[in-house]
Amino acid sequence: MSDTNFPRQVRLLTAGDFSRVFERADAKAQTSQLLILARRNDLGFARMGLVVAKKHAKRAVDRNQIKRIVRESFRHHQSELENFDCVVLSRGGAKNLDKLKLRHMVDQLWTRLGQKSNGNRSRSKQRKA
């Protein structure tokens, strides 16, 4: 799959997809502006859904900008995330960040999430041995 695309198959589209992640997240990464919840899937590739509430970003232009930046970052990091379903939730201060700071923050969260998932896998392999 190309890193520059964001096709339907890598999106969480249904309420069931989102609720599956909300019910039991295997990993999470967060700052005061963003929260990423992740749960393993059996598809062999990462998928992502976004929740940017009007409560946190009143203007549509602000919500759309946050979504664009998060989608772009996900496209560049999805190979690190392997087979996770991820939900990105905005928090109060997300709209106050400039584009570069927001992008850097999201990149760091994906990296942190990827490291957590690799760490969990190596621990589970050790337990089985």
Backbone phi, psi, residue 66, to 5°: -60, -45
Instruction: List, for residues 34-54, the tens digit of each pLDDT value.
Output: 999 999 999 888 899 999 999
What is the structure's pLDDT at 93? Answer: 86
For 8-115, give the CATH class.
alpha beta
pLDDT at position 80 over 90: no
> What are the extents of the domains in the chain?
8-115
Could you list the beta-strand ranges (E) of 1-129: 27-30, 34-40, 47-51, 84-90
Instruction: Please give the model's pTM, rounded to 2 decimal places.
Output: 0.83
Separation CA 94–CA 103 (nearest Å): 11
Residues in CB range of 24: below 8 A, 6 or more apart = 39
Contacts 24+ apart (CB under 8 A), 63-72: 63/90, 63/95, 65/99, 66/90, 66/94, 66/95, 66/102, 69/99, 69/102, 69/103, 69/106, 70/34, 70/106, 71/6, 72/103
Task: Give 89 or 115, the one with higher predicted confidence.
Answer: 89
For 102, the token pair is: 């927001």
